[in-house]
Amino acid sequence: MSEVRILGTGAYVPERVVSNDEAGAAAGVDDAWITGKTAIRERRWAAGDQATSDLAAAAGRAALESAGVSADQLAVIVVATSTPDRPQPPTAVYVQQRLGASGAAAFDVNAVCSGMVFALSAVEGILARTGGHALVIGADVYSRILDPADRRTVVLFGDGAGALVLGPAPQGPRLRHVALHSFGELSSLIEVPAGGSRLPADRHTADAGLHYFTMDGRAVRRFVEDQLPPLAKQFLHEAGTVPDDIRHFVPHQANGVLLDSVFANLALPRATLHRTLTHYANTGAASVPITLDAAARAGAFHPGELILVAGFGGGMAVGFALIEW
């Protein structure tokens, strides 16, 4: 009997490689400082003529090729992003157009860096009811919303996109369980203050730098270190598994030093921590699918192994997915 499975993965990062020295120059920090604080050594930033949809479409093509699925077979396209091409229409419709997937419903999901997990949960539910194939993409171009002089943020982020194709199949990787959490009372920890209906973008907001991404880094770290381990323990219990069963941990690539701390506290004794941030930095909603794709293409996953996926970030939001490969 067929059920919703992961049929293929794909990723795309821009060609431009940005060193730590270049990224940190205006903020007055160098390679040694950035590497010590984040374990990031370089990142990719989009070219001037590239928008989020361009990166998303490229990752989508790679995932479709991996899955052996054509664009005209897609019933749904979802893009998880907090850096859309425009406030409207959804970035997903530009991806639909570029891929030639005219029959697909297309919409965006914004759960910031947890967006890919939220999108996967939504799409799995849609396909369980309607059938067909779906393309789920996490894509962000954070380089466009960073304050070059803010050392707390400008050194952390890169641009990229990752994608998964979901559809019916009798065997193959599948989502066994998903859990989503939001903590709206902490929404001010990560935000872009201007540009929406609360504070429309104008000359005054631009002069004040309110169109830039802002983050209370220390508070975010406390949130992740305090919340992720107990929520993960609860998630594994609800999924009917135990930490010893997990063979792979694929987290949002927020900061390498933070990931080491979180991984130690999760106590997953047989799991491998997968990282792509050394070369790509934090790519927002793209970081989970980029890392999944890198591990899958490297042959790291084997049939039957359990993968714990964790997204966390603005909202504040946390999303977990348990994948049986």
Active site residues: 113, 252, 282
Distance CA 131, CA 203 (A): 48
Is the distance from CB of 250 to CB of 292 less than 8 angstroms? yes
Report the b/e string of 42-62 with b at 16+ CB within 10 A: bbbbbeeebbbbbbbbbbbbb
- Strands 42-44 vs 17-19: parallel, antiparallel or unpaired: antiparallel
Nearest to 14, CA basis, from 283, 324, 234, 285: 283
Nearest to 279, CA basis, from 300, 257, 256: 256
Phi, psi of 35 (to 5 degrees): -60, -45
